[in-house]
Chains A and B, each alone.
Chain A
Amino acid sequence: MADDGQAKAEQAGAPGGEESHAADEHAHAAEHEHEHASHEHADAHGHAHDPFDKNHLIEHVKDATYFDLPRMLGGHWEIPQIRDIEEPIATIGVGFKPLDDRIEPLDAKITKFMVLEVVAAVIMIVFFTALAQRLKKSTAPKGRLTNLLESMVVFIRDEVARPAIGHHDAEKFLPFLLTIFFFVLTCNLLGLLPWAGSATGALATTGALAFATFCTVTFAGMAKLGPVKFWLAQVPHMDLPKPIGFLLKPMIFFIEIMGLLIKHFILAMRLLANMMAGHLVLVVILTFIVAASSAGAVWYAVTPASVLGVVALSLLELFVAFLQAYIFAFLSALFIGMAVHPH
């Protein structure tokens, strides 16, 4: 890190006089370790840098090919890549420029969120197979973890699946709903760990999960009503005179199909927006510390306020993590219920 900073300092070659004050403040704040490194670092960044630059803030919440660890744990840690080539395998486009600009190329890079998703999956497998083993041995509820997980499982079954899908059909979709609920929840909660991030703060993740829901909804509907009848059932029954019916029904069908797609898209957007916004707010509040680092004594007032604010908002985030997982699972259940029991 120190070498890196030095190199950059030389490259930038402009450690000005007025920045040294900021650098001192900076170093003072950074506990005791790496005081030297901090100096270099601050010097390297000395020239007027807007800490609230939107790009910096988003950069921090977004997916990346590295982990930002504290320096004592290795600092910037690039994830080892299997295919470490910048050249994309393919670029995907739908022919609409604003959309295509947002679709990143397919480059087979392993990212932070991929790693975190695997971590979430491993955590879930460990916890729930353990719970299953425990319940196989004896059905008497025993142990705090068992009760905690069990109560959530029962909640999803009794408060989400059954009311939304119906008592009879709920059992079939329960594994899907439980998996999606706990996967979203675990990803959300991983976002509250320092140095990790929430994979649900990327459109690709929430989009893929919403797509999984969409597939489940359509397949469930087609399996229940038959492949043709399911799509026809999207048009609500109306008593229309024949000629108007011929004209209106295709339009209504189109609108309903669009609605079906849009509501799943919104499912993805809602989760994304909630997770990303929460983390952005946390980053912004923490950035106040950086912004105040050159403001002398004010820094001492800003820093504790900022830290306390982040603690309070992290608690809110904890709530949001559960709430959004619940909403995602509940809406998925609702969509499945609507597909299985039309009207």
Chain B
Amino acid sequence: MNWLRMLMCVMLVGAACAVAARPARAQVEEAVEHAEETAEHAASTDPAETTGPDPLSFDPDLAIWTLVVFVILLIVLGKFAWGPIIEALDRREETVANHISQAERNHEQARLLLSEYEQKLASAANEVRGLLEEARRDAEHTKQAILAEAKEGAEAEKARALRDIDAAADAAMESLAQRSAELAIDLAGKIVQAQLSREDHARLIQEAMARFPAASASQN
């Protein structure tokens, strides 16, 4: 990039030289020529003019002309340029100011909304946390209830089973006793068939039966 810039500089200077050299040459020669002319003129006419041109000389024609041009310019531009331009600039300034204040208002509004939503979001999170907590509590509660119920059920089942077992044991005992008594009687009957009458037989059974439950109860 640097060499490009340098090249441009060199080209510019070259162009300037070319441009400047030409008028300069011409101008200087013209100047010399005119000086010559004026000098000749002065020499031939008025010796007082040899003092030469005065840088502070005042040409009333030019002054009047300048004033006229300036006043016309002031009027024309005042009517067709400055008025509309300044008005447009003021209008633009106003528009821009309006836009800025509008933007500021919008920004403020957005900020409020944001904080509002943030608040809402925070409360929602809180709510969610509460809900979760509650749900957990509920679940815990339910769990406890279910557990208790299950335990209770199991307990009842067990008690029933025990009762059943007891009943079954009792029944078994009874039938066993009856069976064994019958067997014993049968056996004893076979042994003592001869000596024992039918009445004796029945009495003996009755006695044994009466003794049996008492004996089994004491066992338990």
Contacts and interface: CB of A to CB of B under 8 A. Distances in A.
B15 to A, nearest CB: 10
A202 B82 CA distance: 27
Give the interface size class of chain B.
35 or more
A108 interface: yes
B61 A139 contact: no
B89 A154 contact: yes
B70 A289 contact: no
B88 A135 contact: yes
Contacts of B70: 179-180, 183, 208-209, 212
B59 interface: yes
B80 to A, nearest CB: 5
Interface in A258-288: 272, 276, 283, 286-287
A103 B61 CA distance: 10
Interface residues of A, number: 94
Contacts of B214: none
Interface stretch (A232-240, A243-251, A301-309, A327-335): A301-309
Q: Provide the main secondary structure of the chain A interface.
A: helix
A169 interface: no
A289 B24 contact: yes
B118 to A, nearest CB: 38
Nearest to B22: A70
B27 A286 contact: yes
Interface stretch (A13-21, A122-130, A218-226, A316-324): A122-130
A106 interface: yes
Contacts of B36: 8, 44-45, 49
A125 B21 CA distance: 33
Nearest to B38: A59
A158 to B, nearest CB: 10
A162 interface: no
B81 A131 contact: yes
A76 B70 CA distance: 28
B88 A136 contact: yes
Nearest to B85: A132
Contacts of B24: 286, 289, 306-307, 310
A114 B83 CA distance: 27
A109 B61 contact: yes
Interface string B4-39: 000000000100110111111111111111111010
Contacts of A132: 80-81, 83-85, 88
Nearest to B91: A139
A61 B55 contact: yes
A121 B69 contact: yes
Given A31-B25, A129-B81, A208-B70, 18 more contacts: A58-B53, A111-B61, A113-B62, A128-B81, A129-B77, A132-B85, A150-B89, A153-B85, A175-B74, A175-B82, A195-B23, A204-B59, A208-B67, A212-B67, A212-B70, A283-B27, A287-B31, A307-B17
22 contacts: A55-B35, A56-B32, A57-B31, A59-B53, A69-B26, A70-B23, A75-B26, A111-B62, A114-B61, A125-B76, A129-B80, A132-B81, A139-B88, A194-B19, A199-B66, A203-B57, A204-B66, A212-B70, A286-B24, A290-B28, A290-B29, A311-B16
Interface of A: 8, 29-31, 38, 41, 44-45, 49, 51, 53-63, 68-71, 75-76, 92, 101-109, 111, 113-114, 117-118, 121, 124-125, 128-129, 131-133, 135-136, 139-141, 150, 153-154, 157, 171, 174-176, 178-180, 183, 194-195, 199, 202-205, 207-209, 211-212, 272, 276, 283, 286-287, 289-290, 303-304, 306-308, 310-311, 314
Interface of B: 13, 16-17, 19-36, 38, 52-67, 69-74, 76-78, 80-86, 88-89, 91-92, 95
